[in-house]
Amino acid sequence: MSVAFTFPGQGSQAVGMGKELADAFPEAAAVFAEVDEALGENLSTLMFEGPESHLTLTANAQPALMAVSMAVMRVLEARGFSLSQHASYVAGHSLGEYSALCAAGALSIVDTARLLRIRGNAMQSAVPVGEGAMAAIIGLEHTDVQAICDEAFVHGTCQIANDNGGGQLVISGAKPAVERAARIATEKGAKRALMLSVSAPFHSALMAPAAEAMREALAQVEMKAPVVPLIANVRAAPVTDPKEITGLLVEQVTGQVRWRETVEWFAANDVTTLYEIGSGRVLSGLARRIDKSVTGTAVNTPSEIESALAALLG
């Protein structure tokens, strides 16, 4: 039985994120200062004080979530934790994949912050506002939702963006196609088909310009082999080769986040505990719904850090 570290994606941000960590731990405050310097702005002030409308902007939320995850990691490491000794794998949900790679030593904090700022801006600008959309489909299986996307494709791009497990899938694409797919899903018995308040159709083919932007940006940074394998979003399988990881990060921009399959892979490979490192506890909740043999444990407060250390270090 082994442990994996997971890292949250967009939607887990909240005003005040990281402040308790910065106040309690100098290692955490140092991470926030390093990210601020890398971006040339006081992102930490926005994280701690808001306004929420600015924090939720994709270009801000992505590096902010990474910063909190890495703050937790640095606090754990300063107290004797070693990812290579005490965990077997890492994985992250969408942008969380960058946090996972940073935690595993594949990317520096500075490079990760800058990459996520580029990624956020590129994803936001890839599609004119109002032309794309996303919707959450609750209560249907993957094959059913895929068939619905295929049916709606006559109205434009429509595909599964996130398979979050527990009967929760998110679709993405051209607004007319996604709206049509949501109506079809309701007709076919979905418990809910909810249009999401998002600024762009993430993880769809419409993000191709952003994928190219990330291909160029990733070519400019050093990617090392992670100290433990990454379970990649678009593959739901382990990968360690830096060149392969870089290609998968590009593919991820337009590809499906296969989170259900990722947790199922953990369960099938004797991983019983997933520590969710950073803001929120979304991934811990998803883990319980996907496979009850896997325990999700959120680690983002001083008390949760102490509990995690006690469990991990014995």
Residues forming the active site: 94, 203
Task: Please state, in angstroms and rounded to a whole number, the distance separating the CA atoms of residues 251 and 211.
Answer: 7
Q: In what order do the strands lie in the sheet with 158-165?
A: 158-165, 168-174, 132-138, 192-195
* Cα–Cα dist 275/283, whole Å: 9
Q: Pairing state of beta strands 89-92 and 132-138?
A: unpaired
Of 279, 310, 292, residue with least CA distance to 71: 279
Q: 173 vs 88, 184, 205, 241, 254, CA distance in Å?
A: 35, 15, 7, 31, 10
Q: What are φ and ψ of residue 237, in 5° steps?
A: -155, 160
Residues sharing a CB contact under 8 Å with residue 313, sequence separation 6 or more, in sequence order = 79, 80, 81, 86
How many Å is the Cα radius of gyration of the chain?
19
> Which distant-in-sequence residues (6+ apart) come within 8 Å of 164 by Cβ?
170, 257, 259, 260, 286
